Amino acid sequence: MIMTMTAVEAAAGPSAGAPAVPSGRKKKDHKVRRVLLTILLIVLITGAILVCMSAMYIKNVIIPQAGLDMADYTANLTTTMLYKDPHSSKGEYVEMQTLYAEENRVWIPLDQIPENLIKATVAIEDKRFYDHHGVDWVRTCRGILNMFTGRKIVGGSTLTQQLIKNLTQEDDITVQRKLMEIFRALDLEKKYDKDELIEYYLNAVFFGRNCYGVEAAAQTYFGKSISECSLAECASIAGITNNPSRYDPFVS
């Protein structure tokens, strides 16, 4: 009797001991998979279309306007009035007054700017300045990721990109301007070497109190030429650009 029961159960198969899956549930799972596959296909097609449209926009609109030449921009320089010292036996000329409108700028060549100031500026503003070709893709991608995840957006602009802002005076927050800035930076670094770019940047950037460029900043804050500034003074000047009103040496 026991052997007969076992044989019958074996013949009945595994379904005899387990509940059968309802056919309605199978249809539901199949429908869900079809919906998910459809959504995925729509996302892929939409993404492909957007990529193609973006590529055409960049090719036809951004790249033709991305050319930039520093020679086309003239920096406003401070006028220095001198007078001949009547008490000097050598007839030396002495500074009487400096004249400027909104920008107090005294241009100084790179070889007269302390190496400490150059290194400090690169370390603070763009530590991969000598490695990238105008755009730091690591910082750029991190900034985009932070934007989409709601985190604090830290500036991803390189020194080259910041120089472009100073040259063009364009700082509106739009995707078009950012794309234009990226392609301009790539183009600018093909035309100029790193020394030329850092020299122009250090003579163009704002340091508070109408000071543009490191020479005007050194004369205003420390009463001397930047070439005479100490390591601490150079560090102080380099840090001003992050927040000119907060890191003003006269205030802090």
First to last CA, the chain: 100
Q: How do the pLDDT tens digits run along the chain, 252 residues long?
A: 444 555 545 455 555 555 555 666 777 778 888 889 999 999 999 999 988 888 887 777 777 777 888 888 887 877 766 666 677 766 676 665 666 667 899 999 999 999 999 999 999 999 999 999 999 998 888 877 776 676 665 567 899 999 999 889 888 878 788 889 999 999 999 999 999 999 999 999 999 999 999 999 999 999 999 999 999 999 999 999 988 888 888 886
pTM over 0.85: no
Grouping H, G, I as helix, E, B as strand and the rest as coil, residue 212 is strand
